[in-house]
Chains A and B, each alone.
Chain A
Amino acid sequence: MTSSKNTSLFRSVDRITGGVLGLLALVSGGMVLLIVWHLLSGAWPAIEAGRLGDFFTDTKWQPGSQRDPQFGVVPMLVGSLLVTLLAVALALPMGLASAIFHRYYAPDFLEHWNRRIMELLIGVPAVIFGFWGLMVVVPAIVQLAPDTPGQSLLAGGIVLGLMILPLIALTSQAALQAVPAAQLQAAAGLGLGRARTIWSVALPAAKGGIITGILLSMARAVGETMAVVLVCGNVPQIPASLFDPIRPITSTIALEMGYATASHKALLFCAALILVLFTALLVGWCSFRRIKHDPGIGGA
Chain B
Amino acid sequence: MTSLPQPRPRSPGSRWLDRTFAVAGALAAFLSLALFTWLIWDLVRLGLPRLSWDFLFGEVDDAGRAGGIAPLLVSTLWILLCCLVVAIPFGIGCALWLSEFVRRGSLVARLVTGGVDLLSSVPSIVFGLFGMVFFAQTLGMGFSILSGGLTLACMILPLLVRTTLTALESIPADLRPASAALGLTRTTSTVKVLLPAALPGIVAGITLGIARALSETAALLFTSGYATRMPGSFFDSGRALSVHIYDLALNVANGGPMASSSALVLLTLILVVNAVAVALSEHWLRRRHSFS
Contacts and interface: CB of A to CB of B under 8 A. Distances in A.
Contacts of B26: 101, 105-106
Given A100-B25, A279-B121, A257 B129 contact: yes
A128 B271 contact: no
B218 A193 contact: no
B168 to A, nearest CB: 12
A26 B113 CA distance: 10
A125 interface: yes
Interface string B108-125: 000111111111111111
A25 B126 contact: no
A24 B32 contact: no
Chain B interface secondary structure, helix, strand, loop or mixed?
A: helix
A225 B185 contact: no
B90 A123 contact: no
A34 interface: yes
B163 to A, nearest CB: 11
Contacts of B129: 38-39, 42, 253, 257, 268-269, 272
Interface string A106-146: 11100100101101110111111111101110000000000
Contacts of B7: 188, 191-194
A25 B97 contact: yes
A130 B249 contact: yes
A226 B122 contact: no
A20 B191 CA distance: 14
A258 B222 contact: yes
Nearest to B38: A136
A27 to B, nearest CB: 6
A139 B247 CA distance: 20
A100 B123 contact: no
A53 interface: no
Interface residues of B, number: 100
B28 interface: yes
B5 A188 contact: yes
A85 interface: no
Interface centre among A27, A108, A116, A125 (most CB of B within 10 A): A125
A280 interface: yes
A9 B118 CA distance: 38
A63 B187 CA distance: 56
A79 interface: no
Interface centre among B119, B123, B249 (most CB of A within 10 A): B123
Contacts of A62: none
A95 B208 CA distance: 22
A124 B32 contact: no
Given A98-B28, A193-B7, A25 B43 contact: no
B287 to A, nearest CB: 18
A276 B89 contact: no
A20 B161 CA distance: 16
Interface string B30-45: 0111011011001100
B82 interface: no
Interface stretch (B51-59, B61-69, B258-266): B258-266
A254 interface: yes
A230 B246 contact: yes
Q: What band does the interface of chain A fall in when counting residues whose beta carbon is under 8 Å from B? A: 35 or more
B9 A117 contact: no
Interface string B262-280: 0100110011011100100
Contact of A114 (B17, B24, B29, B256): B29
Interface of B: 1-7, 9-10, 14-15, 17-18, 20-22, 24-29, 31-33, 35-36, 38-39, 42-43, 46, 89-91, 93-94, 96-98, 101-102, 111-130, 132-134, 138, 154, 157, 161, 185-187, 190, 208, 211-212, 214-218, 221-222, 242, 245-246, 249-250, 256, 259-260, 263, 266-267, 270-271, 273-275, 278
19 contacts: A25-B97, A28-B94, A28-B112, A29-B116, A32-B119, A35-B119, A98-B25, A98-B29, A100-B21, A100-B25, A101-B24, A103-B2, A119-B274, A124-B271, A162-B36, A184-B4, A193-B15, A229-B246, A254-B125
Given A97-B28, A193-B10, 9 more contacts: A104-B4, A120-B274, A127-B245, A131-B259, A136-B42, A184-B5, A188-B4, A276-B126, A280-B118
Interface of A: 10-11, 13-14, 17-18, 20-22, 24-35, 38-39, 41-42, 93-98, 100-108, 111, 114, 116-117, 119-121, 123-132, 134-136, 162, 165, 169, 177, 181, 184-185, 188, 191-199, 202, 219, 222-226, 229-230, 250, 253-254, 257-258, 268-269, 272, 275-276, 279-280, 282-284, 287
